Amino acid sequence: MELKLSPADAAFQSEVRGFIRAALPGDIKAKVELGQHLEKDDYVRWHKILFAKGWVAPAWPVEYGGAKWTPLQRHLFEEELAIAATPRLMPFGLAMVAPVIMAFGDAAQIKHFLPRILSCEDWWCQGYSEPGAGSDLASLTTKAVAEGDDYIVSGTKTWTTLAQYADMIFCLVRTSSEGKPQQGITFLMIDMHSPGITVRPIRTLDGGYEINDVFFDEVRVPQTNRVGEENKGWTYAKYLLQHERSGTAGVANSKAQINRLKKIAARERAGGRFLIDDPDFRRQIAEVEIELQALEYTDLRYVMTAASGQPVGAETSMLKLRGTEIQQRISELLMQAMGPYALPYLPEAMEYGWNEDPVGPAVAPPLAPAYFNKRKTSIYGGSNEIQRDILAKMVLGL
Q: How far apart are CA 77 and CA 85, in angstroms?
A: 13
3-state secondary structure of 257: helix
Q: Could you confirm whether 291 is annotated as catalytic? A: no
Q: Let me know: does 257 contact 330? Beta carbons within 8 Å.
A: yes
Give the CA angle between residues 24, 27, 32 to the nearest 5°.
Answer: 80
Q: Let me know: does 121 contact 154? Beta carbons within 8 Å.
A: no
Q: Let me know: does 258 contact 330? Beta carbons within 8 Å.
A: yes
Q: Let me know: does 20 contact 80? Beta carbons within 8 Å.
A: yes
Total count of residues recorded for the chain: 398
Q: How far apart are CA 39 and CA 268, in angstroms?
A: 34
Q: Check the CA dihedral 267-272-275-279 and report its sign.
A: positive
Residues 6+ apart with CB under 8 A from 369: 35, 206, 207, 208, 345, 350
Which one of the listed residues 80, 130, 244, 296 is annotated catalytic?
244
Residue 124 β-bridge partners: 168
Catalytic residues: 244
